[in-house]
Structure 1
Amino acid sequence: MLPLQQAIPFSNYTDLYDLLIPQDNLLRQINDLIDFSFVHKELLDKYCLNNGCTAECPIRMFKYLLLKTIFDISDVDVVERSRYDLSFKYFLDLAPEETELISPSSLCKFRRLRLKDKDLLNLLIGTTVSIAIDKGIIKSKTIIVDSTHTGSRSNPYSPVEILRLRSKQLRKSLYDVEESIKEGLPLKNEDDDLEHELDYTKALFEVVSDNETLVNVPKVRERLNMLKETLSDIEDHYVSSTDEDARVGHKSQDKSFFGYKTHIAMSDERIITAATVTSEEKGDGPQLPELVEQSRNNGMEVETVIGDTAYSGKNNIQLAQDEQKGFELVAKLNPAISQGSRRAEQSFEFNKDAGMFVCPAGHMAIRRAKQGKKNQGKNQFIVYFFNTDKCRICGRRQGCYKESAKTKTYSVRIKSDEHKHQMDFQETDEFRAKSRSRYKIEAKNAELKNVFGYDRALSYGLTCMQLQGAMAIFAANIKRILKLI
């Protein structure tokens, strides 16, 4: 059962908050800036209002998740810190002397049950953009677009490899504390036999666990707990679990990446105005119409869009020239993206980092060649060649690959005349001046990864990735708004 409103704590010690928490404290500033009642309204349909035990207030549970994101800590640690940290207690609307806190497992249940089927990503971005507009922070009519990669939680290592990795991490933390501990550790396993590696890992775990002095060192204890969890996973065969929604994409022609991609639109003031989360193999260009529409729905006036060559596709140029929905597109043309005809049933997409097309199954072309001659009355083509060994066993080869064919190619027709206006525009000083702002979104992507832990997925599945993205972007926008205020 959910109360109609959050209970206000009464305490004789509430004055401690004003005495000990300064006005410039980040959590105090966030509490003063945002009215979190929107969370209660959004999740009201996820609770029973007249039956069952009284549920924990959804606003407080949401704030726990926000604290997790801001300080990049675990469920256990965020609950434990709220036991003794007055700024956490203040932010969570707890009385200073309150010690009866939630179980960390409640946060997992809140994420899975209460936030399920909620478009939290758009809700939280829209909330922060509205605040920024009301405060007069967003004044520009320009958005900068780009994507950032997030690795899947699924482990690409074999059981032996992951055991060695965790053991190595533990040994490194031990050596940082006490170099002489090397002599007392068991001999490392040198072969690839899983049973032998398990025996070594268990022996290492027992030796360290018996040393109370070392176990009480925080970084040693964290690595020891991680090793224990890995041992348990492997013995229970959970290590083979996979992320069904994650896909393989390419950051360059030679470097692949397994996980997800978040497509971001950001104002010139570095406030994220829209975002979509997709699997890694999706191209950047097709996401542009949704990013523009979301930004406008969130209250942003969009007259200029700045991006890299991935956004200069034919469809995006046509959208930019639309009389009602149009905008000025500041993105350099790439013949491989913006020209030529593509068959809708194939949906090959261009990877700007690798400079190659990727087929619907996620396989990248292995080479390319230009065919035809200039000024001969016929259009030239860029032909991309794929590995037929992969095509022969591909589950999606029907209608794409002809059995026993020696080659598989995809051709892109070069029609430079269709993009003359864009080509002329990108040669102007105005284009060059506006395109220099694109660096800002690279810094924002780095902030999401390095500050808010967005380089690695915390759970499995696209839905969980969207939740993680929603919290990270919400926190990043709040901090930016506070800085500009």
Structure 2
Amino acid sequence: MLKKNRPQLDMFDHVIFEKLVPKDHLLIKIDSIIDFSFIYDLVKDQYSPIGRGSKDPVMLVKIFLLEYLYRLSDVEVVKRIQTDIVFRWFLNLGINDTVPDDTTLSFFRVQRLTEEHFEAFFTEIVKKCIEKDLIRSNRFIIDSTDVAANVNYPSIKKLARIAFNKVIQAVAEFNELLATEIAAAIESELDLAYEKSEKFSWREHFEITQKYLDKLYIKTYDELQYNPKYLDAFGLCYDLLDQYTNNKKDKIVSIVDPDARVAHKSPGNVKKGYKDHIIIDEDSEIILASSQTPFNVGDGKKLKELLQKTETQVGLKPKELSADKVYGETENRAFLKDNTIISNIAFYEESSSENNYFKMKDFVFSDDFKTVTCPNGKSTEFFKIKHDKVNNRDMKDFQFDVKDCSQCPLIEQCIYRYKNGKYQYKNKRVTVYLRYDAVITDKARVTTPEFTIAYNKRYKIERRFATMVRNHGLRRCRYIRLRGAKIHITMANLACNIVRMVSLLFPPTKNLKI
């Protein structure tokens, strides 16, 4: 049953708080600008209408906030509350009131709340920023940063061994004899393989593991139909073997945290874990919306989602959007154009051509995207719409007149000639995405001084990431799986926003106590 913590503070408590709580303390300022009672409505469905009274959910969420404001664990924050008078004041606890223990905090976070609840807490804080007129909606900035998973990453062989051992442990719970038999058999075969060759490959290791996994499938088929714990362990091991054997892109890299993923952020720079995708208001630097994904999810795939979340959750739509080049997919540019949002997204340099062939930039498209003119000044309006099955995109295929191309003095730079002397095409084709009109608009935009000014302001979002890493523990997840990563990252975003609110609403002072 939901219970609100409303203790009757005695005169002694009031005197202590009045004497010892600094008036310019960060928590005093937070309490003066944010009413956390909205939490009751957001969590009330998680409680039974009858039963023993619970700990006050507002107090518990405030404790989570304290953890991210001061980079404390569940155990550490409980100890700090016991001795820190300002923490007690912030939580509305009297001097003699008992403090929730760390197991209560863990139960509340894991059993009572979902990642959607933490997302709702974050959204309410953004709404309060809007109510206080902190957000201008002139220009938003979007970007992402990596957040390491809270695990180690074993070798491929060890990964398979750990996964299969998890299966054996699950089997032992309902058939200990079978588990012992299979475990001994696979260990014996692996040991023998290593004795025969020191260069025993991970593929051979996987083949042996797959053989014994298949045996378990046959012998425990019925158990797999109704034992969810065993099914999860078996499925995880099966997926792992399948992903590496068939060289799939989306590979499991940890058995402890099977949702974490690995990707190359840049050549030689490998990242493993998750991403925090955020969109901020350039003027206030308030984080307006966020999305958490495994690290191998491309940044560009989240542009549309973040803009839509910002509009649907808090009713904000920017006039302009600034982002790194990686967000410059044609679909994203088209989405921005269709929604009348000015794009401040740069372009990658076109690759150089050893044979000095013309590039896309050498062809001029009309503003209405109905005509294209070649470097020789010839234009065409003839095109066909084709579907690119590889990229699942519609393409616009412009074709020039055969006579014009055959008599063109620039043909050697335009149409590729094979070694046998024949040309690749009878006439030149220029194939672009069907929504290349958005690219044309953006290419004109990048030549303006307004673009340069906006693009150079992207450092503000990097400053938010740096603040969260330095002050709010963003760099490494506290919890495992994607659910845990979402909770951890959302709380870091929320804490960052609250501190930013304080900075905007109160004049900065040199002696701010935190």
TM range (shorter): 0.5 to 0.7
Please list every run of 5 or more consecutive structure 1 residues that lacks an aligned counterpart in the other structure.
Answer: 162-239, 349-371, 382-411
Point out the more displaced range, 328-337 or 13-22.
328-337
Deviates more, 1:130-139 or 1:425-434: 130-139
Task: Report the Cα distance in structure 2 between the residues aligned to 1:270 and 1:82, rounded to whole angstroms.
Answer: 31
Please give the alpha-carbon distance, in whole angstroms, between the structure 1 residues aligned to 2:442 and 2:38: 43
Offset at residue 375 of structure 1 (A) = 3.2
Whole-angstrom CA distance in 2 between matches of 1:343 and 1:375: 23
Contact 1:9 1:94 in 2 (8 A): no
Cα displacement (A) at 1:415:
10
Q: Distance in 2 between matches of 1:141 and 1:150?
A: 29
Inter-CA distance 312–135: structure 2 relative to 1 (3 Å threshold): same
Do residues 152 (structure 1) and 149 (structure 2) align? yes
**Is 1:375 aligned with 2:414?**
yes
Q: Which residue of 2 aligns with 1:36?
A: 36
In the aligned structure 2, how far is the partner of 1:260 from the partner of 1:97?
42
Q: Give the Cα–Cα distance (whole angstroms) in 1 for the partners of residues 326 and 444 of structure 2.
A: 18
CA distance in 1, matches of 2:93, 2:342: 50
Q: 8 Å contact 2:115–2:487 — kept in the other structure?
A: no
**CA distance in structure 1 between the partners assigned to 2:349 and 2:48 by the alignment:** 57
Structure having the larger proportion of residues in helix: 2
Query: RMSD of the alignment, in Å?
Result: 3.0
**Quick check: 1:306 aligned with 2:322?**
yes
Match of 1:272 in 2: 287
Distance 1:345 1:10 in 2: 68
Distance of 2:413 and 2:7 partners within structure 1: 76
Partner Cα separation in structure 2 for residue 311 and residue 280 of structure 1: 16
One-letter amino acid matched to 1:146: D
Separation of aligned partners in 1, 2:390 and 2:109:
37
Match of 1:134 in 2: 131
Aligned position for 2:302: 287
Contact kept, 8 Å, 1:120 with 1:467, in 2: the verdict is: yes
| Partner residue in 1 for 2:492 | 472
Deviation readout 1:312-364 (Å, 9 max, x if unpaired):
11111111111xx3300100123789x9x99677789xxxxxxxxxxxxxxxx
Deviation per CA, 1:13-62: give whole Å up to 9, x if none.
Answer: 222212211221111111121111111111111111212x2211111111
| Equivalent residue, structure 2, for 1:320 | 336
* Distance of 2:260 and 2:322 partners within structure 1: 28
Write out aligned runs for 1:404-419 (5 A).
Answer: 419=439
Gaps in structure 2 of 5+ consecutive residues: 159-253, 352-359, 361-385, 394-410, 416-426, 506-514
1:119 Cα deviation after fit: 4.3
In the alignment, is the contact (CA less than 8 A) between 1:72 and 1:452 conserved in 2?
yes
AA at the equivalent of 2:343:
L
- Which residues in structure 2 correspond to 1:245-256 (within 5 Å)? 245-256=259-270
Q: Deviation digits for residues 234-292 of structure 1, max 9, x if unmatched? A: xxxxxx84211111121212121110011110001110011000110011111111111
Cα 1:431–1:17, aligned 2, differ >3 Å: closer, same or farther? Answer: same
The yes-or-no answer on 1:21 pairing with 2:21 is: yes
Letter of the 1:18 partner, please give it. E
How far the C-alpha of 1:373 sits from its partner, in A, is 8.2
Select which of 258, 261, 268 maps to 2:272: 258
Task: Tell me if the contact between 2:140 and 2:281 (Cα under 8 Å) persists in the aligned partners.
Answer: yes
Q: Structure 1 17/432 Cα, relative in aligned 2: closer, same or farther at 3 Å?
A: same
Alpha-carbon separation, structure 1, partners of 2:413 and 2:109:
58
SS across alignment from 1:435:
helix
Partner of 2:211: none
The letter for the 1-side match of 2:327 is Y
For residues 415 and 76 of structure 1, do their structure 2 counterparts lie closer, same or farther at Cα, with a shift above 3 Å needed?
A: closer
Residue matched to 2:256: 242
- Alignment of 1:111 onto 2:109: yes
Residue pair 1:27, 1:91 contacting (<8 A) in 2 also? yes
Is 69-78 or 137-146 further displaced after alignment? Answer: 137-146
C-alpha separation between the residues in 1 aligned to 2:152 and 2:293? 19
Distance 1:331 1:346, change over 3 A: closer
Give the equivalent residue in structure 1 for 2:441. Answer: 421
Give matches, 1:74-473, under 5 Å: 74-98=73-97, 100-116=98-114, 118-121=116-119, 123-156=120-153, 241-268=255-282, 269-297=284-312, 298-322=314-338, 325-334=339-348, 375-376=414-415, 378=428, 419-473=439-493
Partners of 2:430 and 2:137 lie apart in 1 by 41
TM-score (norm 1): 0.66
Structure 2: distance between partners of 1:101 and 1:344 = 61
Q: Is the 1:2–1:54 Cα contact (8 Å) retained in structure 2?
A: yes
Q: Once the 2 structures are TM-superposed, how far is the Cα of residue 306 of structure 1 from its aligned partner?
A: 0.3
Q: Which moved more, 1:293-302 or 1:251-260?
A: 293-302
TM-score, normalising length: structure 2:
0.62
Q: Is the 8 A contact 2:279 2:306 kept in 1?
A: yes
Matched with 1:173 is none
Match of 1:88, SS state, is helix
SS of the residue corresponding to residue 319 of structure 1 reads: helix
Give, in whole Å, the separation in 1 of the partners of 2:38 and 2:327.
Answer: 34
Q: Distance in 2 between matches of 1:373 and 1:114?
A: 70
| Secondary structure of 1:464 counterpart | helix
Q: Secondary structure at the match of 2:268?
A: coil
Task: Quote the offset at 1:423 in angstroms.
Answer: 1.0
Distance 1:48 1:317, change over 3 A: same
Q: Distance in 2 between matches of 1:343 and 1:457?
A: 40
Q: Is the 8 A contact 1:130 1:299 kept in 2?
A: no
Give distance in 1, aligned partners of 2:89 and 2:389.
55
Instruction: Indicate how the Cα distance of structure 1 residues 380 and 452 shifts in structure 2: closer, same or farther if over 3 A, else same.
Output: farther
Checking the alignment, whether the CA contact within 8 Å between 1:82 and 1:88 is kept in structure 2 is yes
Return the offset for 1:72.
0.5
* Deviation of the 1:378 alpha carbon: 4.4
CA contact 2:139–2:319 (8 Å) conserved in 1: yes
SS of the residue corresponding to residue 500 of structure 2 reads helix
Percentage of pairs with the same residue: 28
Matched residues, number: 346
